[in-house]
Chains A and B, each alone.
Chain A
Amino acid sequence: MRATLREEAFDADVRLAHSDGIQSRMNPLATIGSTFLSFLTALGRLALFAGSAVGHCVRPPIYPRLIGRQFLEIGYYSLPVVGLTTLFSGMVLALQSYSGFARFSAESAVATVVVLSITRELAPVLAGLMVAGRVGAAMAAEIGTMRVTEQIDALTTLSTNPFKYLIAPRLIAATLSLPILVLIGDVIGVFGGYVVGVYKLGFNAGNYIQSTVQFLEQIDVISGLVKAGVFGFIVALMGCYHGYHSRGGAQGVGAATTNAVVTASIMILIANYAITELFFGR
């Protein structure tokens, strides 16, 4: 019931935002003020949208078939791109830290640096950004097209709530599948570092593995997976939000797609700092 109320308020907000007249644009203070206000309005709209979307994720009806399809789309089909990015990140990290640390003879730290950077930072952030480009854009385009061709209206007339049918499955699947993707990416990234370390830089294989696990703590991996979950949520949320509110034909859908990727990427980087601060900032 709460979520329904929020949804109503949210719709009212949309209406308000669109009925705003054009105000005087001459006064610079007014310009700053109105930009700031419209930023706040947008933020509020997004928060209401997110609240109502999450509300629909946890209340029936749930569509397992659609969630499954999104899992395939977001999780499975993103494996190659996430695998490749983390593999090469692990490799370049080993190379970079080796040549850098050689300056103060700390080459032995290479394995630790690789595993910590991959699990804490690189795997989640790179996977998040890659998925934002791959999946977030596709979501915005698909939902946006459904909006401008009245398919979302048609859903409603067939007594199906678009939040439940379109948005909830995407949010659920993205939030759950990104951590799995990142876990796989962790392994591949560390493996990339291992390959470069052992076959190019001449580390002893046993030693490399030992120093990889020696200083690794659970929290390193867990913080990365938490980040992944949050990033997945952000990507799906921005994709759905911009798609759902697109208007004006092909051009509107194009703008929605761009906005979805750009805002998701920025929010991922901001959230990344915030979560790091939460886990490790003292």
Chain B
Amino acid sequence: MTDQPKIRIRDLHKRFGSKVVLDGLDLDVGVAESVVVIGGSGSGKSVLLKCILGLIDPDSGTIEIDGRNVVGLPRAEREAYMRKFGMLFQGGALFDSLPVWENVAFGLIQSKRMGRPEARAVALEKLAQVGLNEEVSLLSPAELSGGMQKRVSLARAIAIEPEIIFFDEPTTGLDPIMSDVINDLIVKCTRELGATALSITHDMASARKIADRVAMLYDGRIIWAGPVADIDRSGNAHVDQFINGRAEGPIQMAVRRS
């Protein structure tokens, strides 16, 4: 079957205590497609990614990867499908006990059983792609700036050349020029290497560049999804308000106006 999506999510529910975060979410991501999820802060975008990765167990619903439901899979089998994934965490999540290059080489050494010198060479190459030189590779993550950490984390996510890559706010905290470099890199991963990408971003310029399709998460559901070209004429008031960044509209932020 060629039209089987890489990721198919159906009726996904997740709540923390009494707080409902995901409430019947449906989403498809096609093979080698790049989907960007947009949505307000705290709307559950990171939780969605973690559900797919198996880091958070959803309360109900199905998540199919290549046609196979992975919700509630035992840990040993989960490890097998993890090998298809790469993840850029919103907070970086770099291993602070390891130097930068070993962070990037980690997946190659641990899961692909590559020799250390060889893995190091690959790591340096990936670091160069995100604009970091050999000198930086010897530093510890704590010695880097926030944006540099983000780029190392990105290099780590793509180093193992995963089939599916998740980017949680890849360009947050970067300057506009570096953002564009990163956008190009993400595009390269998907268009040239054929990876499937599911990204989260607040940065509409970045979304327009890296997305094939955009999906908007609101109130625990995907309320609109469509090709990136249609985003300005979505006909959806929520999407309009979000992409134009207006305080007035159907989405009410829970802040007190004085």
* B106 touches A (CB below 8 Å): yes
Q: How far is the CA of A156 from the CA of B87 in the complex (A)?
A: 10
Contact status B74-A153, CB under 8 Å: no
B57 contact from A15, A150, A160, Cβ within 8 A: A15
> Which chain B residues in 55-88 approach chain A with CB under 8 Å?
55, 57, 74-76, 79, 82-83, 85-87
List of A residues within 8 angstroms of B2 by Cβ? none
Please, how many residues of chain A have a CB less than 8 angstroms from a CB on the other chain? 24
Q: Does B111 contact A (CB under 8 A)?
A: yes
CB contact between A157 and one of B17, B87, B91, B96 (< 8 Å): that residue: B87
Cα A5 to Cα B76 in complex, Å, equals 10
Residues from chain A with a CB closer than 8 A to the CB of B50 are 153
Report yes or no: A159 in contact with B82, Cβ–Cβ below 8 A.
yes
Give chain B nearest CB distance to A231 CB in angstroms: 25
Consensus secondary structure, chain A interface: helix
Categorize the interface residue count of chain B. Answer: 20 to 34
Within the complex, which residue of A15, A150, A156 is in contact with B82, where a contact is CB–CB below 8 Å? A156
A161 touches B79 (CB 8 A): yes
Q: How far is the CA of A90 from the CA of B129 in the complex (A)?
A: 61
Q: How far is the CA of A158 from the CA of B112 in the complex (A)?
A: 10
Residues of B within 8 A of A150 (CB): 89, 91, 93
Closest residue to B79 on the A side, CB-wise?
A159
Check: B95 CB closer than 8 A to any chain A CB. Answer: yes
Tell me the smallest distance from the CB of B251 to a CB of chain A, in Å: 28
Which of B75, B83, B96 lies in contact with A8, CB distance below 8 A? B75
Measured CB to CB, the nearest residue on chain B to A163 is B75
B29-47 contacts to A (CB < 8 Å): none
Q: Provide the A133-169 mask, 1 if CB < 8 A to any CB of B, else 0.
A: 0000000001001100111011111111100010000
Residues of A within 8 A of B75 (CB): 4, 7-8, 161
B91, closest chain A residue (CB): A150
Closest CB in chain B relative to A44 CB, distance in Å = 19
Is A159 a contact partner of B95 (Cβ separation < 8 A)?
A: no
Interface 1/0 per residue, B90-101 and A, CB below 8 Å: 010111110000
- Contact of B107 with A by CB under 8 A: yes
Interface members, chain B 167-216 (any A CB < 8 Å): none
Residues of A within 8 A of B (CB): 1, 4-5, 7-8, 11, 15, 19, 142, 145-146, 149-151, 153-161, 165
